[in-house]
Amino acid sequence: MKFLVRVLLVFLLAVGVSLESRAEEPDLKRKIGQMIMVGFRGVSIDEESRITHDIEAGRLGGVILFDYDVPRGIFERNIHSPEQLKRLTGQLQSRAAVPLFVAVDQEGGRVSRLKERRGFPPSPSQRFLGRLDDPVVTTDAAVMTARTLVDAGVNLNIAPVVDLDVNPDNPVIGAPERSFSSDPAVVARNAAIVIGVFREAGILSAVKHFPGHGSSEADTHGGFVDVTDLWSERELLPFRDLIEGGLVDMVMTAHTFNGRVDPLFPATLSERTIGGILREQLGYDGVVISDDLQMAAIRDTYSFEETLEKALKAGIDILLFANNSVYDEEVALEAGAVIARLVERGVVSPERIDESWRRIMKLKERL
């Protein structure tokens, strides 16, 4: 009799564990939500804030913060001071059932959302660090940035830039001094130091802009950018070295078009670029995040639904809507609904959603 009772208990426990495991896995809507990152307006949030409702409803898995609101042309967005930013990030995380990616672009130099005039420490540009190419100086700068991000409650830096500085007049990479160097070894060496320091501090990083934006002559914020006759495979080398070294947490794509790689789509929407070059050729199986899908290079050419469909089929795991080229506070709701319809119609498979969800959750375990 005792033996039968023990067998029954083991069976019930097994069934219980199985049911519990199933209950822990979210529904399709929440899996899709983890694939969406948005920007929003506000230096604080409360119960009535739209971003609060989106977080609590599971419509997004991350937010990106800015100091400057481009559509309105004012420094009135998310970041006013270290103390205020820490309160805001705490408010955001307190609403989330699953930890959020809280992201900023804190590259250093001109692309610093946490500015000295707001009370944050100074941060040198990547070109400055690359020209010195001194591991001590790069480490010290990275430590300062990491401490600043930790204190602020930011857990994802959309940096470092690993584009090659092959065109110094490039309006989006070269001219703003965002690249370490035109030498792939210098870029990879300094990026590895930065990423290593971030990891020790518990900060994730996103290397950008794959497969290389340094050779372009125009800015994808402003429209279509063709690098067919400019880009070379040499621009892949820093990505390759960092991937082989196991140093890549996340890769951000470029919106550049290269007809020699894909005659139809820019990199963010290109299965040949993400699936072919990044996944197969370079062997990367981690999280891929798009650059802002509201930038003109995408928005002016593709419909909202086409953008999402092509991005998912290309292999994008996190769809970024920065809300800082145009502003749409409904974008998380709209994107989730479109993706759900794509799955319902069989255009995108549930397995494709699961693939991204698993990558994201694996990375979030480190938070």
The residues annotated as belonging to the active site are 221, 291
DSSP letter for 67, please.
S
CB-based contacts of 214, cutoff 8 Å, min separation 6: 163, 164, 165, 166, 167, 170, 173, 174, 179, 182, 235
For residue 211, say if its preceding peptide bond is cis, omega within 30 degrees of 0: yes
Dist CA 332 CA 35 (whole Å): 10
Dist CA 61 CA 59 (whole Å): 7
Listed residue (147, 146, 181) closest to 161, CA to CA: 181
How many alpha carbons lie under 13 Å from residue 336 in its C-beta half-sphere?
23
Cβ distance 43 to 91 under 8 Å?
no
Question: What DSSP letter does each residue of 331-357 carry, written as one string?
Answer: HHHHHHHHHHHHHHTTSS-HHHHHHHH
Radius of gyration of the chain (CA): 21
54, two tokens: 């989106």
Q: Is 161 helix (H, G, I), strand (E, B) or coil?
A: strand
171, two tokens: 């309006």
139, two tokens: 């480490």
HEC profile for 198-218? HHHHCCEEEEEEECCCCCCCC
43, two tokens: 């230096």
Listed residue (157, 163, 191) closest to 177, CA to CA: 163
